[in-house]
Amino acid sequence: MENTVIKINNLVKRYGDLIALDHLDLEIKQGEVFGLLGPNGSGKTTTINCLLSLLSFDKGDIEIFGKKMTPVSYDIKKEIGVIMQNVTVFEELTVYENIDYFCGLYIKDKAKRREYVEEAIKFVELGDFRKFYPKKLSGGLLRRLNIACGIAHKPKLIILDEPTVAVDPQSRNRILEGIQELNRNGATVIYTSHYMEEVEQICTRIAIMDKGRKVAEGTKDELKRMIKNTETITIEILDIPDNIAKEIASLPHVYDTDISSGKLTVYCSGGKHNLTRVLEVLQKNELSFGRVYTELPTLNDVFLEITGKALRDKED
């Protein structure tokens, strides 16, 4: 169960003066859903392209299924399903024909292929669209077709590079459920995204990347334990005197406070009943306040604390 599927050792990739991958090490075990999380330009897709032997690299080794990966490693490629960031289908072939084309590059037996294609169509729920041409499909359906083309041959390793970009929430959920199902059926999955919610939802282990470097790696709980923040309390309040703000800042386990835009934000590290203690201070000083909410740390907090910047832009 714990066999290593992918081993990346000291990978360096430069584009001129720009270091796209900076001494990257990764080890992905069989049965994992491994997430590569990072902002745009952090090196996720470059890592995938090096992994697939599409890109040359300056230094390092890549092994897949215990063998060195090269462009002519056809026996390895046979076991990999690839879902690219861009939809890669033929505009002039129908849904069925597109899936059959890509499946046929892996599976020679026609009867077996027909069966696999039907299963893939069923899996992505495109049964009603099998004779449709891609240009007639919505963005979400097109993404599902892209996935079906990548997984129809039942690969042992599935690489998905940002498969949910520009997809509606309904299709996104269907895609994420599908990935988990593929994993339950035995496939090892590598999933790249800059959507932390998706990675948190489906990945069993996560590597956070920034500027071509792996800045953290572990399960989501392990990652969250790496940072000081364990709880963030936000209280809507119009005004708060300095002395009361200081009192809150001096409470046990509170390591930082922020008052801005009519909100008091209290950052806590460890401890229990932090919210109760903060509210007690406000009530004792007879300060009225609005909504109160508390949040556990997210991967964005992890990224923020490690790199000093947010994982993705607000408009994302």
Partner 1 sequence: MFGHILKYELKNGLRTKDLIIWLILFPIILGTCFKIAFGSIYEKTEKFSSIPVAIVEESENAAFRQVIEGIEKADEPFLKATFADKEKAEKMLDDGDIEGIIFTSDDISLTVKEKGIRETMLKSFIEQYKVREKIAMDAINTAPEKAQEVIASLTSETASSCREIPLTQGNPDMYIQYFYNLIAMVAMFGCITGMHITIQNQANLSPLGARNNCSPAPKSINILACLTGSFILETICMVICVTYLAFILKIDFGDRLWLVYPSAILGGITGVSFGFFVGSLARVSEKAKGAILVSISMLLCFCSGLMMGNMKAVIAENIPWFNNINPAAVISDCFYCLNIYEDYDRFISKLITMAAISVMFIVLGFVTSRRKKYASI
What the block records as the tokens of 236 is 């809507």
Distance of CA 128 to the CA centre of its chain: 30
Please say whether the beta carbons of 62 and 50 come within 8 A.
Answer: yes
The structure tokens listed for 84 are 């690219």
Binding track over 224-253 against partner 1, x by CB under 8 A: ------------------------------
Distances (CA, A) of 293 to 9, 209, 286: 43, 30, 19
Rank residues 98 and 230 by Cβ distance to partner 1 and give the closer one.
98
Give the Cα separation of 181 and 74 in Å (integer). Answer: 26
Q: What H or E segment, with its residue span, contains residue 33?
A: strand 33-37
Q: Using the minimum distance from each CB to partner 1, give the nearer residue, 108 or 291.
A: 108
Q: Which of 8, 24, 64, 82 binds partner 1 (CB under 8 A)?
A: 82
Give the number of C-alpha atoms closer than 13 A to the C-alpha of residue 285, restricted to the C-beta side. Answer: 17
* Minimal distance, residue 49 CB to partner 1, in Å: 6
Give the one residue of 74, 286, 291, 314 binding partner 1; rule: CB under 8 A.
Answer: 74
- Distance between first and last Cα of the chain: 37
Count, residues near partner 1 per rule CB under 8 A: 32
**Would you say 15 or 255 has its CB closer to partner 1?**
15
Q: By C-alpha distance, which of 248, 231, 228 is closest to 294?
A: 231
Strand ranges (DSSP E) for 163-291?
Answer: 188-193, 205-210, 213-218, 231-236, 254-260, 263-268
Q: Which of 12, 23, 29, 55 binds partner 1 (CB under 8 A)?
A: 55
Q: Is 72 near partner 1 (CB under 8 A)? A: yes
Among 67, 78, 225, 228, binds partner 1 (CB under 8 A): 78
| Smallest separation, CB 56 to partner 1 (Å) | 4
Nearest to 55 by CA among 66, 65, 63, 47: 47
In the complex, least distance from residue 158 CB atom to partner 1, rounded to whole angstroms: 12
Residue 145 or 248: which CB sits closer to partner 1? 145
Restricted to residues 86-145, the positions that interact with partner 1 (CB under 8 A) are 86-90, 92-93, 97, 101-102, 104-106, 108
* Binding characters for partner 1, 269-288, by CB under 8 A (x = yes): --------------------
Measure the CA–CA gap between 21 and 44, rounded to whole angstroms.
9
CB 135, min distance to partner 1, A: 11
Q: 268-291 as b/e, with b when 16 or more CB fall inside 10 Å?
A: beeeeebbebbeebbeeeebeeee
CB of 110 to partner 1, least distance (A): 9
Which residue number, 121 or 266, has a Cβ lying nearer to partner 1? Answer: 121
Site for partner 1 in 152-191 (CB under 8 A): none
Q: Considering only residues 32 through 51, tell me which ones interact with partner 1, judged by CB under 8 A.
A: 49
CB of 15 to partner 1, least distance (A): 6
Cβ neighbours of residue 185 closer than 8 Å, sequence gap 6 or more? none
Q: Is the CA virtual torsion 37, 41, 46, 47 positive or negative?
A: negative
Q: Which of 3, 4, 10, 15 binds partner 1 (CB under 8 A)?
A: 15
| Binding residues for partner 1 (CB under 8 A) | 15, 49, 52-56, 70-72, 74-75, 77-78, 80, 82, 84-90, 92-93, 97, 101-102, 104-106, 108
